[in-house]
Amino acid sequence: MPPHNKRPALVSPAGNMDKLRFAVHYGADAVYFGGKDFNLRAGTDNFSMEDIARAVDFCVQSRVEAIFLLNAFIHENDLALVKEYLSEIKRIPFRAVMISDPGMLVLVREAGITTPVHLSTQMSTLNHYAIRFWKEAGISRIVLAREVTLEEITRIREKVDAELEVFVHGALCISYSGRCLLSRYFTGRDANRGECTHPCRWKYAIVEENREGNHLDIIEHAHGTEILSSKDLCLIRLLPEYATAGIDAFKIEGRMKSVYYTANTTRVYAEALSLIANPEVFALRLPFWQRELALVSHRPYTEDLFNEFEGMKGKKSIPTIKGARFLGYYIDKGGDETEIYMKVHNPFSVGETIEAIYPLKGKSVRDRTYRVCEIRHNGTIIPTAQSGHAYLVRFDAPVHEYAIFRESTDTIATVVQP
């Protein structure tokens, strides 16, 4: 195969319209999102038909690719609904649609949708024969299984010229590419139809048959016990190697995570990608990126969960690390440059000092701290902003568009160790 010199694209999660806007402003080359049906995150506040049209319009204007998810597995009984749904979205100019079920590929084409089709990681594509198969079937980009190693990617790339995408950040499943029945078993909600309740991350205890209600922890630690927990993926340190191996697109997991998570992971990976051909500067910036990734909510990071199992020797108790507390984000400007309308995610009060992060502008990091001077709700001055509401907030210095506010916690942040 010819050498692969293209800079990989960054594909960010967009669980709703706000997350999509922030992903775009914080540096995504492409965003992926789903409608109300037939994608693998039925629990997110997914896009209505109107939202979908607005989102694609915004992406087109921002020169960012819109990838639409149709990656649920389809039962025979769903077919009529799928056909109806496809006829509704048919005219929307997505850059690509993503499928898992081969039947969906046939249905997409039968519906007259001619846009490129990407194949989800859910199909566990692990070798170049599988890639050849999917390419011949009409797939233009394959998201490889998360179990593929870097060395295998290099070998695959020597054999095929299809577009390849990998996940570089986010939650992992304890099942091959997420094809798992735990959630269905415990709650009747099927992960393969977008309804996963994440039972692999619940806290578990052992109960002796004859002692109902007497719960025994398996491993004692401050956060309880999670016998099936997986770690989160974080490949920031290895991005240059993945790019050299011939990957076309790097994807961040997490449509159900916060605006703050979407924005900050996007800005970190976007900057890292822009410096991928400059090893010295990349190495200099790496500690900043690792610190920022430690400040988003995550489980302990791994660079290769699949090959870590052997070394785990039963130590599967993995706490979630909250990083920083996400306080809220910019929604509009206020009366002067020190005032903004803000959607609040966690409470904060007048007099507190809080930190804002911003999209990176060139080489400068504009993140800074502010003192909260005044909070107004419907014109009334109040002492504390509560989560879930929008407020007019005045700070002690000018605030810029797309600020996201956070407060560091005392939690010890985990940084990926080389």
Binding residues (CB under 6 A) for ligand SF4: these are 173-175, 178, 180, 182-183, 191, 196, 198-200
Question: What whole-number distance in Å separates Cα of residue 252 and Cα of residue 232?
Answer: 11
Q: How far is the CB of 153 from ligand SF4 (least distance, A)?
A: 22
Contacts of 63 (CB under 8 A, 6+ apart): none
Q: Which is nearer to ligand SF4, 177 or 264 (CB)?
A: 177
Instruction: Give backbone dihedrals phi and psi of 211, rounded to 5 degrees, phi first.
Output: -125, 65
Residue 277 beta carbon to ligand SF4: minimum distance, rounded to whole angstroms:
35
**Given the complex with ligand SF4, which of 198 and 343 has the nearer CB atom?**
198
Compute the least distance from the CB of residue 143 to ligand SF4, in Å.
16
Q: Which is nearer to ligand SF4, 226 or 339 (CB)?
A: 226
Q: Is the four-CA dihedral 25, 67, 39, 79 of positive or negative sign?
A: positive
Q: In this complex, which beta carbon is closest to ligand SF4, that of residue 10 or of residue 180?
A: 180
CA atoms of 408 and 355, how far apart (whole Å): 8
Phi, psi (degrees; rounded to nearest 5) at 123: -85, 5
- Least distance to ligand SF4, CB of residue 145, Å: 13
- CB-wise, 116 or 199, nearer to ligand SF4? 199
Q: How far is the CB of 224 from ligand SF4 (least distance, A)?
A: 17
Judged by DSSP in three states, 262 sits in helix
3-state secondary structure of 402: coil
SS (H, E, C) 161-196: CCEEEEEEEEECCCCHHHCCCHHHHHHCCCHHHCCC
* Planar angle of CA 303, 9, 126, nearest 5 degrees: 50
d(CA 273, CA 362) in angstroms, rounded, equals: 13
Given a contact cutoff of 8 angstroms between Cβ atoms, the answer to whether 322 and 223 are in contact is no
By CB neighbour count within 10 A (0-12 exposed, 13-18 middle, 19+ buried), where does 296 fall?
Answer: buried
Q: Please give the C-alpha separations between residue 358 and each of 13, 258, 362, 386, 401, in angstroms, as whole numbers.
A: 18, 15, 12, 22, 8
Closer by beta carbon to ligand SF4, 179 or else 343 = 179
164, β-bridge pairs: 142
AA identity, residue 388: G
Closer Cβ to ligand SF4, 133 or 185, answer by number: 185
Q: Is 196:256 a contact under the CB 8 Å cutoff?
A: no
Considering the complex, state which of residue 157 and residue 169 has its C-beta at the smaller distance from ligand SF4: 169
Q: How far is the CB of 193 from ligand SF4 (least distance, A)?
A: 11
| Residue 180 or 340 having the CB closest to ligand SF4 | 180
| Least distance in angstroms from the C-beta of 299 to ligand SF4 | 11
What residues pair up with 170 in beta bridges, in sequence order? Answer: 233
Nearer to ligand SF4, 4 or 184 (CB): 184
What is the rounded CA–CA span in Å between residue 320 and residue 258? 15
